[in-house]
């Protein structure tokens, strides 16, 4: 039986939450391995809608859930999201939610710095202003405060010295006061009891689970095109979102990642700034946004919409070693006269079958489209191939041909059970 790693294969917002929730019924553990509470995963179960940004989506089903060391954790948001879900009837305890004790913390001055940087420059990255990037900077700068430090606050002086030596100088450059050390220690003392009961050596527990033969589901956040190495730099997130990050961000070796399932929307969306070759700034783009309810779960920002870009997704599949895709939101394309797929780019007198690395080239490419007839029937709620219109099936088949990766699942609505299983990732 294979483990499964779920990642976004576009710019995020592909519908990972629903797919992870659906797969969680087949899993023994669900693991978040990168990012922070800048992720936005929406689950619809009957009449109840759950919005998660930090906790693994498996927690809604009660599947044992883990936050790995590759995540950066805002402890106050952690507490508040737990309480919010408990208020919706979700049972969350240290028995079904475990937090890596070596997970770095997002602290108030990280949020401050995130906002100061965005406001100080006309060149906007489009961050969520939640402190994700500055927290990762402190991690690699070896000055982060981690979950395990909350149990040793009396010994934290030297680490706070390192933090302040860096951040006070940066804050002074923005005209901000130094970090209030006493306030920081007071805040950490206050939040520690809400966090420490969940702290565990997650790497050890997951290794034991794998040795038992448990099925582990790794839940990625954001999307491959936002990867700090392979994405549309500098308009990217601050972590590696590719499948390989599941190994380092959980404490399991690379063999544990198993079947890599790329989540792919049947069209393309992007939140915030950055290149977007197939963006539609017309009535069709507006229609896609309205029908797809394209607003960010975390930020509430309206998503930019465009046609499906097979070049980008093929690149994502190659870089992340994607075994199969879950195609989501096919129903948003219902009753369109024609649909288009980007099959290549023109850059000057060149034709490219990949997305170039330089920002100027990324902004200059012109998409080459293949046009297909649409379908006048509804795909919403379909749960088998027989329920799909013939032209919708042709569209799906053409997508998998162009991205050189098979379709494993098709999602036809936000509802948990409106899913067509073509190839079970856990049985591969």
d(CA 390, CA 385): 9
Q: Which residue carries 């029908």 as its tokens?
A: 291
Q: Which residue carries 């693994």 as its tokens?
A: 56
Beta partners for residue 66, in sequence order = 31, 98
41 is catalytic: yes
Alpha-carbon distances of 285 from 15, 110, 268, 278, rounded to whole Å: 19, 35, 10, 10
Closest-CA residue to 17 (of 46, 53, 47): 53
Angle separating helix axes 132-140 and 108-120, nearest 10 degrees: 110
Catalytic annotation, pick one of 13, 21, 112, 227: 13
CB 10 within 8 A of CB 225: yes
Beta partners for residue 218, in sequence order = 5, 31
d(CA 383, CA 120): 50
Provide the H-helix boundaries in 99-201.
108-120, 132-140, 157-173, 181-195
d(CA 99, CA 20): 19
CB 3 within 8 A of CB 257: yes
DSSP single-letter state for residue 100? E
Provide the H-helix boundaries in 292-389.
310-320, 359-364
13 is catalytic: yes
Beta partners for residue 258, in sequence order = none
Catalytic annotation, pick one of 37, 41, 167, 230: 41
Active site residues: 13, 41
């Amino acid at each position: 039986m294979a483990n499964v790693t779920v990642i976004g294969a576009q710019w995020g917002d592909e519908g990972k939450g629903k797919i992870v929730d659906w797969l969680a019924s087949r899993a023994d553990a669900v693991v978040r391995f990168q990012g922070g509470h800048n992720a936005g995963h929406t689950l619809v179960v009957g009449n109840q809608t759950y919005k998660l940004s930090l906790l693994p989506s498996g927690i809604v089903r009660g599947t044992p859930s883990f936050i790995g060391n590759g995540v950066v954790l805002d402890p106050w948001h952690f507490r508040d999201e737990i309480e919010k879900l408990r208020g919706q009837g979700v049972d969350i305890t240290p028995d079904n939610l475990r937090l890596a004790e070596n997970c770095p913390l997002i602290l108030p001055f990280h949020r401050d710095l995130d906002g100061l940087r965005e406001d100080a420059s006309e060149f906007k990255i489009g961050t969520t202003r939640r402190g994700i990037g500055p927290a990762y900077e402190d991690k690699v700068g070896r000055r982060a405060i981690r979950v395990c430090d909350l149990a040793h606050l009396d010994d934290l002086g030297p680490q706070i010295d390192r933090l302040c030596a860096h951040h006070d100088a940066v804050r002074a450059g923005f005209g901000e006061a130094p970090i209030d050390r006493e306030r920081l220690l007071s805040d950490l003392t206050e939040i520690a009891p809400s966090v420490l009961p969940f702290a565990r050596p997650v790497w050890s527990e997951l290794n034991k689970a794998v040795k038992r033969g448990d099925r582990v589901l790794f839940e990625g956040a954001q999307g491959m095109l936002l990867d700090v190495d392979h994405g549309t730099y500098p308009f990217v997130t601050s972590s590696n979102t590719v499948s390989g990050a599941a190994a380092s961000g959980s404490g399991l070796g690379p063999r544990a990642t198993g079947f890599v399932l790329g989540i792919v929307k049947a069209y393309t969306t992007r939140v915030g700034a950055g290149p977007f070759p197939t963006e539609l700034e017309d009535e069709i783009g507006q229609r896609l946004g309205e029908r797809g309810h394209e607003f960010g779960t975390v930020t509430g920002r309206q998503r930019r919409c465009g046609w499906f870009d097979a070049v980008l997704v093929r690149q994502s599949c190659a870089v992340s070693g994607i075994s199969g895709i879950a195609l989501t939101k096919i129903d948003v394309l219902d009753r369109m006269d024609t649909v288009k797929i980007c099959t290549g780019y023109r850059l000057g007198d060149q034709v490219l079958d990949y997305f170039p690395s330089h920002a100027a080239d990324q902004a200059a490419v012109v998409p080459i489209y293949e046009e297909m007839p649409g379908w006048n029937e509804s795909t919403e709620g379909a749960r088998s191939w027989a329920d799909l219109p013939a032209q919708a099936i042709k569209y799906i088949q053409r997508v998998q041909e162009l991205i050189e990766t098979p379709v494993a699942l098709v999602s036809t609505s936000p509802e948990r059970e409106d899913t067509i299983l073509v190839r079970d990732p856990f049985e591969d």
